[in-house]
Structure 1
């Protein structure tokens, strides 16, 4: 029952966004040196509204001209040159989520924390609360409130997703990006599967029982994947803005959540992103740690910091540890990930009915037959053959240039992985997050009935680079041929 409840709830996650061309023109005019308009103050803040905020900070409620909506702005550390802008996630607390963070930040930085329109003390105009529209608000905030030094953007959960989108849409505006437990990045189907699947590695059960559970979860995942390519009733909201505004427009959390899940983060240009620090709670059940590894895969200058026993809101559950990591992240630099060593191994790895379930290191060839519990971690294999098997892999590299890997009646889940050469699939299923294909096109060929769930996935050939995400069903065709339709 829980699986279908989650499915019905999260299947409502789609909304359109509208471009604001007038705001873009105004921004270009300001860039030419025209004097900026004075900030228009909105309804004054009352003592009751500020009761939970420390008195030593500066507070304003101003009007954002791009959407004619009120915006609550908190400032601290006004004496500092470098600015840190904090963007909150879903929930009623809004900027209050940062109150355990701001004192440490304000000792070294000018801090700007906001309540996004529709949240907290920024109740006002109703529009599509999407990353695209919120990015316009953040750009106005940075333009109006930044100090002369570097600007860093820190986002949590939905706010992290918005910050990521902002960095893509407004390149060069910020010097550094910090993402905290970013939500809404994975493809919707991948996320639903995460919510509904047991972690078999931690189940204290005999191997035979775990194999049965793996088969049951596999069947449930198959059903969920089918919904990812079926009819989506939320298109009714996407095609009728008046219907959306009448039904969910003023339900801020629903409005923002739907618009967040509508955004395809897989197609952003991650190569132009600024230096990025990623902070994550390992026990996050809202935004799985898999998301962090997928983001690290596509962000060329990024570093991941994991708080092992923290959940989705690490700044509140582990404030000292989080603040220490955040300050170090803002002061530190990241470098590109080192290149993998050349694989010259002659080792052959085999598994039959789970007699060998964990592989790491270098192999020439791995062959799996009727294995349901296999994990690859930091694996580098030149060849891979799967038959009637279920495998999960992370931080790995499989295949070699000019060769084809055969996957038959199997399931492959891969995160932060490079695939070299070509995959030939026959009645198999794939869930890729932070995966890059390298080779001559076509890199993926389906012989019959193949399903793919793709998040932050790239196809890199000598002639082109393609970024893609979403759910796909292939018959007898290549993935590239389907994308060309």
Structure 2
């Protein structure tokens, strides 16, 4: 693993923009750039697969080369042994060209953080949506989710994966006018491979995952996107990331829930295009 270093973009924005005692960058100040070869990686969350991004992909800039890998034990990627977040990060990083941009959703955001820290040359910009530094709440980390809520969600997924995945999407798209069409577009791809092999193993890895110790060494500019109606990872869970990542900016989409890229795809795509360039 290479020692983390501050990338040029972060240095430039660090020097150009300061807010109080904490360095920040602002979306309106990010220069728009066009790259002939611009690699963007989309990393999905727990119990899903890369097909969750199907509605978003057509809205992204045409010059982007978009990659959406399946995490181990999800979609088409087999699970070999127990799910390991650091190993999953290393596996994806091995496929990535240097200076790629990375979007991580929920569990995928934790994987993205590990990639950015362990392989800093591979990541230019980092977007974390509905994600966290640590998932489970503890007395020292009240921002997290309770174990009982997590156990209940897991039991429902294990009992009838297709049924609960639909219910999950319906809940996340509750205020979305075309929710039915969005669900019909993504659900077949999400359930085509049955219950993910890593459903329990990835959850155990998530329970133990903790990116807090290395957050101050993640120097890539980070955009944090949350839904104001998210009951799984509410915006408060992103406050810790905002406070401990050196170069982070938070955007809250008020009426979105846990999947802002599905409920508000145009707004989300515009944020991503502006940030990644």
Q: Where on the TM-score scale, by shorter chain, does this alignment land: which range?
A: 0.5 to 0.7
Structure with the larger helix share: 2
CA drift of 1:273 comes to 2.4
CA drift of 1:137 comes to 1.0
CA drift of 1:130 comes to 2.1
Runs (4+) off by over 6 Å: none
Partner residue of 1:394?
none
Partner residue of 2:57?
102
Do 1:153 and 1:174's aligned partners in 2 also have CA atoms closer than 8 Å?
yes
Do 2:117 and 2:214's aligned partners in 1 also have CA atoms closer than 8 Å?
yes
Partner residue of 2:82?
128
Do 2:102 and 2:125's aligned partners in 1 also have CA atoms closer than 8 Å?
yes
Partner residue of 2:44?
88
CA drift of 1:195 comes to 8.0
Q: TM-score, normalised by structure 2?
A: 0.64
Do 2:216 and 2:244's aligned partners in 1 also have CA atoms closer than 8 Å?
yes
Q: Which runs of 5+ in 1 are unaligned?
A: 1-23, 28-78, 197-249, 332-485
Partner-residue secondary structure (3-state), 1:175 = strand
Question: Equivalents in 2 of 1:255, 1:186: separation in Å?
Answer: 15
Alpha-carbon displacement from aligned partner over 1:360-388 (angstroms, at most 9, x marks no partner) = xxxxxxxxxxxxxxxxxxxxxxxxxxxxx
Question: Equivalents in 1 of 2:203, 2:133: separation in Å?
Answer: 8
Question: Equivalents in 1 of 2:258, 2:269: separation in Å?
Answer: 15
Matched, 1:188 2:137: yes
Q: Relative to 1, partners in 2 of residues 1:289 and 1:126: Cα closer, same or farther, differing over 3 Å?
A: same
CA drift of 1:185 comes to 2.0
Partner residue of 2:110?
161
CA drift of 1:105 comes to 2.0
CA drift of 1:140 comes to 1.4
CA drift of 1:194 comes to 9.9
Partner residue of 2:268?
322
The Cα RMSD (Å) is 2.4
CA drift of 1:187 comes to 4.6
Q: Which runs of 5+ in 2 are unaligned?
A: 3-34, 150-195
How many residue pairs get matched?
Answer: 195
Alpha-carbon displacement from aligned partner over 1:406-426 (angstroms, at most 9, x marks no partner) = xxxxxxxxxxxxxxxxxxxxx
Q: TM-score, normalised by structure 1?
A: 0.38
Partner-residue secondary structure (3-state), 2:222 = strand
Do 2:113 and 2:218's aligned partners in 1 also have CA atoms closer than 8 Å?
no
Which one has more relative contact order, counting CA pairs under 8 Å at least 6 apart? 2
Structure with the larger strand share: 1
Q: Relative to 1, partners in 2 of residues 1:120 and 1:275: Cα closer, same or farther, differing over 3 Å?
A: same
Question: Equivalents in 2 of 1:257, 1:273: separation in Å?
Answer: 27
Question: Equivalents in 1 of 2:79, 2:54: separation in Å?
Answer: 26
CA drift of 1:116 comes to 1.3
The structure with the largest alpha-carbon Rg is 1
